[in-house]
Structure 1
């Protein structure tokens, strides 16, 4: 049953329509549009109707699908929003919040990035997408040690801007995917809350500011901009990517993985080595991809001492600028593309995909690795990326920010399955393979809870369709561990009516 407010708005728009034409009764999208247009004040230089798209608009599907990064949700059967507001001004955000609340519509906030399971543009009920891609300015501090970044900016845009502004002598430590949103990496913020108020760190309060850093900001507010800290980088960094299929230099793959587990989280803080396990010709392939903040001579000294089994040699080390290393991580060969390609917001090729995550706190034994290699060979569509922690991650208390996965974790796992052929049977098989590998890893990963990484969204670990505390705790403790209850407390204070909610949002306590 519609609320009286919705009925009144629909009747008003309907009567207006009848007086002017014989058109069909207004859609919920047109009611929403009339609501946001009618609000005052608005920015006369940026009228909201110019940035609002309903399904009747020929640009609607283009705007919607531009930031769909998973072809599983790029189809005619997926439920579509009743409208998209591609906000270009803070008043657009405020109007969207006001009218979504008035019409009892759920709000989905989208600012680019992975969103592997599509929670920023999917819902089972009527909803509006607030798309932030127009808000992507980057303003650098005078000393080039900070920058204010609007929430629609991508990491590629930040990386490119930082490198060009600072003559390649500063960088920003974040993800390897240029298309990822900038959210989460910040030292200050400007937001719009459920009441439509624009707040900064002081006015929002330190508890909400704490929650935004790693707690999933979309559970609490709409973020307008982040203030990030930039870091100095050397003139040259060194990268490498070496593979072992069966063995490398006389050392079998399993022994290389054993050694990697021993040193990856303890090696020099300037060196990062990711291990990826996949299959090739019925054999497990281990890829060791690394970056060192320094020259190749110093890197080889460290590797000879700490990881001689890998046999890294001079010809496999490539020195380049830090900004060029971003392309290297995308598997773009050096010199084959300008760094400006990281400004491309729309991927040239889309894929069907599934992602899951885990944390490992104890080295996996040789017997365990044998079992893992066996299950990978039985599920050849799945790869595992092992990302080492340690270093600075281990020095920050787990309660410093809402992100809790710090000391005690040796590495994080991303399970990845990609496929390129449409069809339910193909999708079912690839999803099943991912789940089989995930289940086989149970003995070797964190327990009570089995931890998960928020940015690798995975609806399999729990959802809150009814937005209850009990449902939310199932996935909440996996993403946030002991920080979950504090996040619930913050949520109950800043958004007691649970306006900012979605399938894996922070819930309010049951008493609410």
Structure 2
């Protein structure tokens, strides 16, 4: 059995299998009911984030939901993996803002939070809901946002001091005002018309307030970033989603709900979490490793801190909380290749795996953490024993959470009906 909501699945686990299978596609279950007065929303399991954002924007400009940047992501998959986004530092993960759910178990019973019990409700908000059953709908807490937020993008190269600026970013931004979120995108590129390479870093910021409030804060704590009023744009929150989603800020917001307008992509990716700032010597090694690739790579750092410091690692299954400075998302793009098995694709994927080894000494360890929603079968798929499953399970959830997820699974789906290569295993002796 495979369960697909948005189909935005990094290893295709929601719609592929190496044996005959049945796919339950929730594509036609995508109604969204917004209650502005109660600041809540009921969202069916097949809706996409873009559809949710668009529907909210048609009702109000002062409420939003703390979900991700990509409008094509399914709400259900996003929430069942934890889910981070531009409101993470102020309101936590998407899963932290789930109030209730309608859930079908392996016996066909339809349950809510009260009837399923708190352990199962805990498990489906970050433990991968498709290991336990089928989420038919989610009740979400909408959060307040200002009528206008401030966006800015700063672009710097190595020749313009990018290494020093990124090095300072690691110390300043995770401890900055939680109204500011910043995504840092890093690519290699040629210098002008030469064959020499450089690194370009884009600092993409969104501030829950106006530029008059933001600029003095940045000028005091991070003047090197050189954010000026000229590069700041004050826009509706839904317009920020357009920009972070790859659309023009002036595009009609309806595009967020247009599934056919969302471009298809093809890539291989991996994730990490950084808890100790990477020294400049380490950054230089990272740049040098990037120069070995064919410029198909991209790194994104996503700032943590703020509200995330207030949650226990066990509040939900998503454990990447206090002490995380930023998340690292790294990929090689295969969009120009007919498949992931061409010579060029295989070379890029091999480079990504070797790049992963280069990063090992600079990212979290024991376990080296990974994000479930960026599922990666390179981490392992075996689940014949806890020792075998822990190789990948503890990277996604850490030990305490993984063991609890197995206990819940063994109660609600002891026959392991809901399974895929990295689903929660069922062990009766946990």
TM-score by length of 1: 0.76
8 Å Cα contact 1:242/1:287 also seen in 2: yes
SS of 1:179's partner is coil
Which of 166, 176, 191 matches 1:257? 166
* C-alpha displacement of 1:487: 0.5
1:138 paired with 2:32, answer: yes
Match of 2:338 in 1: 422
* C-alpha displacement of 1:510: 6.4
* Equivalences for residues 298-337 of structure 1 within 5 A: 298-335=213-250, 337=251
Match of 1:442 in 2: 360
Which of 395, 400, 414 matches 1:478? 395
Deviation beyond 3 Å, 4+ runs, structure 1: 346-349, 466-471
Match of 1:170 in 2: 63
8 Å Cα contact 2:36/2:59 also seen in 1: no
* C-alpha displacement of 1:142: 5.7
Match of 1:181 in 2: 74
Max Rg structure: 1
SS of 1:441's partner is helix
Give unmatched runs, 5+ long, in structure 1.
Answer: 1-106
SS of 1:455's partner is helix
* Equivalences for residues 260-409 of structure 1 within 5 A: 260-281=169-190, 282-335=197-250, 337-379=251-293, 380-409=295-324
Summarize the Cα distance change of 1:215–1:245 in structure 2 as closer, same or farther, 3 Å threshold: same
Match of 1:38 in 2: none
1:228 paired with 2:122, answer: no
8 Å Cα contact 1:137/1:153 also seen in 2: yes
Q: Distance in 1 between matches of 2:35 and 2:187?
A: 43
Match of 2:108 in 1: 196
Q: What is the CA deviation profile of residues 64-107 of structure 1, one whole-angstrom value per residue up to 9, with x for unaligned ones? A: xxxxxxxxxxxxxxxxxxxxxxxxxxxxxxxxxxxxxxxxxxx0
Q: What is the CA deviation profile of residues 360-379 of structure 1, one whole-angstrom value per residue up to 9, with x for unaligned ones? A: 11000011111111101112
SS of 2:174's partner is coil
Q: Distance in 1 between matches of 2:38 and 2:132?
A: 30
* C-alpha displacement of 1:348: 5.0
Higher relative contact order (CA 8 A, sep 6+): 2
Q: Distance in 2 between matches of 1:161 and 1:260?
A: 35
Which of 396, 399, 407 matches 1:489? 407
Match of 1:216 in 2: 128
8 Å Cα contact 2:215/2:229 also seen in 1: yes
* C-alpha displacement of 1:352: 2.1
Summarize the Cα distance change of 1:108–1:345 in structure 2 as closer, same or farther, 3 Å threshold: same
1:154 paired with 2:48, answer: yes
8 Å Cα contact 1:382/1:433 also seen in 2: no
Match of 2:83 in 1: none
8 Å Cα contact 1:468/1:508 also seen in 2: no
Match of 2:82 in 1: none
Q: Distance in 2 between matches of 1:398 and 1:124?
A: 34
Q: Distance in 1 between matches of 2:35 and 2:120?
A: 25
8 Å Cα contact 1:487/1:506 also seen in 2: yes
Q: Distance in 1 between matches of 2:237 and 2:7?
A: 22
Q: What is the CA deviation profile of residues 406-435 of structure 1, one whole-angstrom value per residue up to 9, with x for unaligned ones? A: 001111100111122215212201211211
Q: Distance in 2 between matches of 1:142 and 1:239?
A: 25
SS of 2:67's partner is coil
8 Å Cα contact 1:108/1:121 also seen in 2: yes
Q: Distance in 2 between matches of 1:244 and 1:277?
A: 10
Give unmatched runs, 5+ long, in structure 2.
Answer: 80-93, 191-196
TM-score by length of 2: 0.90
SS of 2:151's partner is strand
Q: Distance in 2 between matches of 1:126 and 1:511?
A: 30
8 Å Cα contact 1:359/1:409 also seen in 2: yes
Q: Distance in 2 between matches of 1:332 and 1:130?
A: 30
User: How many pairs does the alignment contain?
Assistant: 400
8 Å Cα contact 2:7/2:15 also seen in 1: no
1:112 paired with 2:26, answer: no
SS of 2:183's partner is strand
Q: Distance in 2 between matches of 1:498 and 1:245?
A: 51
SS of 2:272's partner is strand
Q: What is the CA deviation profile of residues 198-217 of structure 1, one whole-angstrom value per residue up to 9, with x for unaligned ones? A: 11111111100011110100
Match of 1:31 in 2: none
Q: Distance in 2 between matches of 1:142 and 1:321?
A: 17
* C-alpha displacement of 1:472: 2.2
* C-alpha displacement of 1:476: 0.7
Q: Distance in 1 between matches of 2:19 and 2:389?
A: 18
